[in-house]
């Protein structure tokens, strides 16, 4: 026994040295010199640890950090072991356009609901295209801009400004009101009308209802989602975490589940309505179409699709409205110019110009385009896998994803512009000269900053545009200076 102990003691320094070398090799040498992305520019911390960028994500500064790294390292950077970010708009159009046919990453598994994959969460390109054909026609302009849909939006606008006026009258000492919650309710009412029809949609603007509480919880969930995504075990499994973190965190943990439960209950109630199939709604469309085998769509899939559109569109429209109103408030010169343009349009019985007339107003359209350029509505994690065989991006070869350990991902540079002089994000450049150009020039400029494109999101963008049109027009008519309204998000 003593001999064995002496033998072990003699080998202990060697074993310690080997263990130390293995640790150093695995933790530092391999990621920096031999990993598939070792040659890709980027911060050392990003190549060493998956959690390096997670720290910035939790602090809600992830996008800003990635923008700084792109300025320092170039258009292709490593932001995590196995993940890269691209900021070249031409590359982004290739990857996210219809010609790229890139596969979505496993990140989109998080968007599954009721055991089914909505269109947004389907990874393979061809499977995504086949499923998209089932519902994409509903979001064509000819469907979305039907009078019955526009009429509901305009009616909601009347209620929106009734609520704003009441809050202004209640706060006589100040003209500061919180705009985001109001826009959030407005967006939720409109998207539920589009999804479920007029008898099963929400009316949160005028009613202090359960749906309002759901929206408040979802706002908290969006605030805490980076922490939940990056550290799920700590967040979901720790009693002390729930007690130590600020008020609202614990409620945010169940926000998505509560909204999913509301969506499922609303779907089942609508299914009992015999007239639901004749409504101009996405639900009616999905009940009418058949799958490839000629069978009705599965109810779980229908619920998953409705939930995904409900969650995404509501937030997209609300945030877009906040940014449009914000920029109207801080750019007094353009506020006056656009007010003059809109006031020259013929007014309908409800006090609004026709949507067609407003769409033809060039200055207002230019303003909306510029706001979306500066504050893109879709700035999420649009992850894709590098295609089979690998590919060269801006002179840097990215290998095909190595199974099990590495999956090389492509993420968009969230600044939506390449960090070179000819593509740099400019400040607010609203001038008559820059946007009163031939339509082709405007489209070309927009193509640089808006690579994500599909008929579904174009349709939702049109719904958002109707909201922009109605909200902005009435704001400009009703208040001489929108900057009196402080936008509290």
Q: Which sequence spans correspond to the domains of the chain?
A: 1-34, 40-112+388-415, 118-379+424-489
* Least confident segment among 128-142, 238-252, 326-340, 414-428: 414-428
Q: Work out the percent of the chain whose per-residue pLDDT is above 90.
A: 16
474, two tokens: 């009435």
Query: Beta-carbon neighbour count of residue 362 at 10 Å?
Result: 15
Share the mean pLDDT of the chain. Answer: 76
Query: Beta-carbon neighbour count of residue 53 at 10 Å?
Result: 21
What's residue 126's pLDDT?
75
Quote the crossing angle between the two packed helices 179-196 and 455-478, to the nearest 10°. 140
pLDDT tier, 261 (very low <50, low <70, confident <90, very high otherwise): very high
Cβ–Cβ under 8 Å, residues 125 and 449: no
What's residue 423's pLDDT?
40
What's residue 290's pLDDT?
84
Distances (CA, A) of 223 to 94, 226, 284, 414: 31, 7, 34, 18
What's residue 267's pLDDT?
94
Candidates 341, 413, 334; CA nearest to 370 is 334
Looking at the domain covering 118-379+424-489, what would its CATH class be?
mainly alpha
| Stated pTM of the model | 0.81
pLDDT tier, 302 (very low <50, low <70, confident <90, very high otherwise): very high
pLDDT over 70 at 116, yes or no = yes
- Higher pLDDT residue, 436 or 35? 35
What's residue 120's pLDDT?
79
Mean pLDDT within 73-81? 90
* Least confident segment among 127-131, 298-302, 401-405, 456-460: 401-405
């Amino acid at each position: 026994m003593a001999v064995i102990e002496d033998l072990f003691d003699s080998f202990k320094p060697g074993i310690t040295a080997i263990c130390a070398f293995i640790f150093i090799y695995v933790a530092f040498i391999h990621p920096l010199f031999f990993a598939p992305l070792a040659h890709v520019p980027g911060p050392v911390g990003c190549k060493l640890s998956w959690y390096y960028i997670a720290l910035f994500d939790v602090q809600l500064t992830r996008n800003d950090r990635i923008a700084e790294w792109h300025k320092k390292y170039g258009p292709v950077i490593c932001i995590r072991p196995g993940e890269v970010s691209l900021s070249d708009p031409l590359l982004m159009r290739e990857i996210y356009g219809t010609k790229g046919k890139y596969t979505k990453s496993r990140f989109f598994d998080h968007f599954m609901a009721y055991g089914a994959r909505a269109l947004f969460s389907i990874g393979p390109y061809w499977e995504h295209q086949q499923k998209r054909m089932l519902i994409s026609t509903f979001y064509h302009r000819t469907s979305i801009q039907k009078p019955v849909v526009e009429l509901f939006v305009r009616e909601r606008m009347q209620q929106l400004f009734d609520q704003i006026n009441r809050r202004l009258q209640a706060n006589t000492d100040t003209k500061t009101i919180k705009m985001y919650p109001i826009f959030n309710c407005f967006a939720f009412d409109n998207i539920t009308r589009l999804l479920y029809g007029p008898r099963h949609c929400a009316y949160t603007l005028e009613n202090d209802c359960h749906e309002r509480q759901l929206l408040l919880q979802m706002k908290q969930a969006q605030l805490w989602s980076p922490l939940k995504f990056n550290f799920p075990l700590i967040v979901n499994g720790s009693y002390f975490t729930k007690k130590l973190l600020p008020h609202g965190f614990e409620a945010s943990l169940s926000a998505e589940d509560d909204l999913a439960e509301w969506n499922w209950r609303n779907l089942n109630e609508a299914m009992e309505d015999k007239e639901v199939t004749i409504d101009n709604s996405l639900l009616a469309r999905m009940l009418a179409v058949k799958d490839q085998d000629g069978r009705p769509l599965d109810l779980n899939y229908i619920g998953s699709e409705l939930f995904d559109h409900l969650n995404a569109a509501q937030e997209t429209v609300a945030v877009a409205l906040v940014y449009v109103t914000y920029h109207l408030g801080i750019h007094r010169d353009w506020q006056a110019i656009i007010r003059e343009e809109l006031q020259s349009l013929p007014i309908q019985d409800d006090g609004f110009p026709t949507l067609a007339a407003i769409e033809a107003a060039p200055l207002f359209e230019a303003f909306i385009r510029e706001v979306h350029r500066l504050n893109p509505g879709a700035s999420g994690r649009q992850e894709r896998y590098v295609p089979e065989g690998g590919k060269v991006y801006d002179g840097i070869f990215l290998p095909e994803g190595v199974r099990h350990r590495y999956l090389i991902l492509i993420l968009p540079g969230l600044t939506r512009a390449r960090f070179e002089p000819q593509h740099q994000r400019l400040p607010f450049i609203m001038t008559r000269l820059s946007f009163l150009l031939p339509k082709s020039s405007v489209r070309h400029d927009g193509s640089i900053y808006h690579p994500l494109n599909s008929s579904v999101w174009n349709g939702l963008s049109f719904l958002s545009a109707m909201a922009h049109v109605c909200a902005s027009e009435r704001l400009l008519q009703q208040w001489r200076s929108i900057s009196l309204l402080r936008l509290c998000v």
